[in-house]
Amino acid sequence: MMSDMSMTEVAAGSAGRTWRRMRANPTMLIAVTVLLAVLLFALIGPMISPYDPYETALRMRLKPPSAAHWLGTDSQGRDLATRLMYGARTTLMLGLAGVTFAALVGGTIGLLAAFYSRLDNPLMRLVDVMLSFPSILFGLSLAAMMGPGLDSLILAIGLSIMPGIARISRGAALSVMAQDYIDGGRVIGLPDRTLMSRYLLANAYAPILTYTTLAFGDAVLLAAALGFLGLGLQPPTAELGSIAAEGRSFLFIAPHVSFAASALIFLIVLPVNMLGDALRDAADRRAS
Amino acid sequence: MKHMPQDTMLTTDITRPDPLLVAQGLTVTFATDQGPLRALDAVDLTLAPGETLAVVGESGSGKSVLSLALMGLLPGTARIEADSLTFEGRDLTAITERDFRALRGTGMSMIFQEPATALNPVRRIGDQIVEAIRLHEDIPVRKARTRAIEALAATGIPAPAERAEAFPHQLSGGMRQRALIAMALVHRPRLLIADEPTTALDVTVQAQILDLIRDLARETGTATLFITHDMGVVAEMADRVAVLYAGRLVETAPSAALFSSPEHPYTVGLLGSMPQMNARGEPMLPIQGTVPDPRVMPPGCHFHPRCPFAAGACLTDRPALRQVRPGQMSACHNAPLIETLGGAT
């Protein structure tokens, strides 16, 4: 009902409500704070660190944390904190690129399957086949098949998490397809692409976005896992998974290397998952 | 499918030589897991330009399937067969999707039962109407916006310029239905299909919306196919009535004739279940039984299990639609009913 509320207030209503619920939720605040800290570490860190992430200093190998090297040094004598900054940047970038690719492809597949019922079966059965592989195994075989390299790594990560996004998108889009306004758009003669963008996607995006946030955590984890298994970017490129793998050989004499890299992965994935859960709760009107 | 073209000719008013819409033997079958399901069974309909035809029937009679079939909006699981299905002489069964799309909105349009869900919730009313205008007309946004506000004003929405900035959820049900009507009529289509447009509205608003549809249709010369189960609405709106039962057309007649002397027992039942102001104390007469399951339709006349007159041929032969008196046709073996009742009415 129209009231004195201004239009912009009303338009912002649902986003504003979501934000208020998020603020009232301490988990959410912790998640956002940790994630921002990690982001600052990865983005600003490389600019202010006095060390080079690639220059080796063999006499400084595997030194424990000290005033000069806050997190110690790795097996090549490089400053571990600096390595982790560059590594976090790489891993985050891989996760982001992978999840973006997955959201674009998976979202499109889901919307198409919901919109054109004759495409539903062929597309979703394909997605089912992809889903039947554990995504780590799927990413592993893809990365091994396509060989090392940034493009193939992003593709492997993206394709591994795409099926989940496709399923969620189809589900969300199907419930929108059942609404009268889809036919309402048709009776005025709207072409399919307009119906799919301004009617279907515009009303179905919320669950897709929430799931994609959660999938970002999976993508980061997968990027790190591939790096750990040696299928990621090749050394000396700093990447969290491969730094953790490097440190594994010296786990008993210098546990700080693996530990710090693993902790950083944890500090990325956990808040992302918390954020996704909180987003889902905040967007879901039934949860109070 | 047996069917009689000569009967169809009789339903057409010969003073209007070019019907807007002709459907002959229109049959719609859905493919389901339990086998084919016939939602419409050889329905014959004609609609003259500017005419208001009410299609009445209970839930499940095929009314809504009929409207979706005419708009070309049935899902892929539906198969449409017809001896003839033409709009302004164009064969709708052979038309390309692109041409059909161009026809929707300009040649024919539709309003829905639930105004609450028939508008895109994330877009402003005005933007949706502007989109509808610019889809078929190459005019600048500002001009289209003026037109949209005029269209809203024509439906009696107060402060149309402000309402154009509103989102659907900010309007009342009646307002939303007005906005939908504005959008449907913005290109002055020759045919408006109104699928129970007042069912979801308050009683006080219903009459206003009905008046609005009638006035605007008259103004723009739009023919209206009015889908309803409310005989009161029929009496109010329709020039002519077509009664559907279980996917078949059982009676068609000018509105006045249908109310004064219905010629199909089902129509009699529909009228009997209508509350009467002047018949205080008399019980309403509901039709016994329920609509048959479309997967196991009774043989012969679909209505015979519920019909007080059913006998003999009713149980075995499908009754053909035949003329009972000029302009009035009934698919009943016992029509005219006055003879069946032995002059009792």
* Among B164, B186, B208, residue at a domain's last position: B186
Radius of gyration of chain B (CA): 21
Q: What is the reported pTM?
A: 0.81
B166 contacts in chain A (CB < 8 Å): 2, 7
Looking at the 3D structure of chain B, how many domains does it have? 2
User: Which residue segment(s) compose the domain that B74 sits in?
Assistant: 5-107+187-340
Same domain? For B283 and B306 the reply is yes
pLDDT for B3 beyond 70: no
pLDDT of residue B278: 59
Token pair listed for B209: 């919306």
Choose, out of B73, B95, B110, B120, the residue to mutate when testing the contact with A (most A CBs < 10 Å). Answer: B120
Same domain? For B201 and B326 the reply is yes
Strand-pairing partners, residue B35, are B32
On whether residue B278 sits in a domain, the answer given is yes
**Rounded Cα–Cα distance for residues B261 and A4 (Å):** 54
Mean per-residue pLDDT, A75-98: 92
Mean of the per-residue pLDDT values for chain B?
A: 86
* Among B157, B186, B215, residue at a domain's last position: B186
pLDDT for A168 beyond 90: yes
- Spatial strand order of the sheet with B240-245 comes to B108-111, B191-195, B223-228, B52-56, B240-245, B248-254, B328-330, B322-325
pLDDT of residue A83: 93
pLDDT digits (tens, 9 = 90+) for B160-204: 999 999 999 999 988 999 999 999 999 999 999 999 888 888 888
Lowest mean pLDDT, pick from A125-129, A154-158, A199-203, B307-311: B307-311
On whether residue A19 sits in a domain, the answer given is no
Query: E-assigned strands of chain B?
Result: 21-32, 35-47, 52-56, 78-81, 84-87, 90-91, 108-111, 191-195, 223-228, 240-245, 248-254, 322-325, 328-330
pLDDT of residue A5: 42
Same domain? For B153 and B241 the reply is no
Work out the pLDDT band at A284, boundaries 50, 70, 90. low
- Measured between CB atoms, does A186 come within 8 Å of chain B? yes
B75 contacts in chain A (CB < 8 Å): 117
* Among B186, B214, B248, residue at a domain's last position: B186
Same domain? For B274 and B324 the reply is yes
Q: A257 and A247 in contact (C-beta within 8 Å)?
A: yes
Strand-pairing partners, residue B27, are B81
- Measured between CB atoms, does B120 come within 8 Å of chain A? yes
Token pair listed for A24: 């009232």
pLDDT of residue B279: 56
On whether residue B98 sits in a domain, the answer given is yes
On whether residue A1 sits in a domain, the answer given is no
Q: Is the dihedral of CA B3, B7, B13, B14 positive or negative?
A: positive
Contact A2 B170 (CB under 8 A): yes
Looking at the 3D structure of chain A, how many domains does it have? 1
- Measured between CB atoms, does A64 come within 8 Å of chain B? no
Choose, out of A117, A121, A181, the residue to mutate when testing the contact with B (most B CBs < 10 Å). Answer: A181
Q: What are the angstrom distances between the C-alpha of A198 and each of A142, A195, B123, B177?
A: 35, 6, 8, 21
CATH number, residue B12: 3.40.50.300
Residue % of chain B over a pLDDT of 90: 49
Strand-pairing partners, residue B53, are B225, B240
**Rounded Cα–Cα distance for residues A110 and A173 (Å):** 7
pLDDT for A163 beyond 90: yes
Which is more confidently placed, B149 or A232?
B149
Same domain? For B224 and B284 the reply is yes
Q: Extract long-range pairs of B282-291: CB within 8 Å, 24+ residues apart.
A: B291/B58, B291/B59, B291/B60, B291/B61, B291/B245, B291/B246
Same domain? For B131 and B231 the reply is no
Mean per-residue pLDDT, B213-242: 90
Q: Collapsing DSSP states into helix, strand and coil, what is residue B244? A: strand
**Rounded Cα–Cα distance for residues A122 and A130 (Å):** 13
On whether residue A193 sits in a domain, the answer given is yes
**ipTM greater than 0.85:** no
Same domain? For B166 and B306 the reply is no
Q: A261 and A243 in contact (C-beta within 8 Å)?
A: yes
Minimum CA–CA partner of B173 in chain A: A1
Task: Please calculate the CA angle B93-B99-B100 and round it to the nearest 5 degrees.
Answer: 55
On whether residue A192 sits in a domain, the answer given is yes
Contact B77 A117 (CB under 8 A): yes
Mean per-residue pLDDT, A11-32: 71
Q: A81 and A49 in contact (C-beta within 8 Å)?
A: yes
Q: Collapsing DSSP states into helix, strand and coil, what is residue B191? A: strand
Lowest mean pLDDT, pick from A26-35, A216-225, B250-259, B279-288: B279-288
Closest CA to B295 of B34, B5, B33, B79: B34
On whether residue B224 sits in a domain, the answer given is yes
On whether residue B307 sits in a domain, the answer given is yes
pLDDT for A134 beyond 60: yes
Smallest Cα distance from A128 to chain B, Å: 22
Residue % of chain A over a pLDDT of 70: 91
Between the CA atoms of B249, B254, B256 and B262, what dihedral angle is there, to the nearest 10 degrees? -30
pLDDT of residue A25: 75
pLDDT of residue B230: 86
Contact A181 B172 (CB under 8 A): no
In eight-state DSSP terms, residue A278 is H
pLDDT for A11 beyond 80: no
pLDDT digits (tens, 9 = 90+) for B51-101: 999 999 888 788 889 999 999 988 888 999 999 999 998 999 889 989 999
Smallest Cα distance from A129 to chain B, Å: 24
On whether residue B75 sits in a domain, the answer given is yes
Work out the pLDDT band at A288, boundaries 50, 70, 90. very low
- Measured between CB atoms, does A20 come within 8 Å of chain B? no
User: Which residue segment(s) compose the domain that A225 sits in?
Assistant: 95-288
CATH number, residue A233: 1.10.3720.10
Smallest Cα distance from B146 to chain A, Å: 19
**Rounded Cα–Cα distance for residues B47 and B27 (Å):** 18
- Measured between CB atoms, does B125 come within 8 Å of chain A? no
Smallest Cα distance from B158 to chain A, Å: 12
On whether residue B191 sits in a domain, the answer given is yes
Contact A203 B131 (CB under 8 A): no
Same domain? For B68 and B150 the reply is no
Same domain? For B218 and B170 the reply is no
Same domain? For B102 and B241 the reply is yes
Q: Which residues, other chains included, contact A22 with Cβ-Cβ below 8 Å and sequence gap of 6+?
A: A28, A278, A279, A282
On whether residue B345 sits in a domain, the answer given is no
Same domain? For B323 and B224 the reply is yes
Same domain? For B251 and B294 the reply is yes
On whether residue B41 sits in a domain, the answer given is yes
pLDDT for B13 beyond 80: no
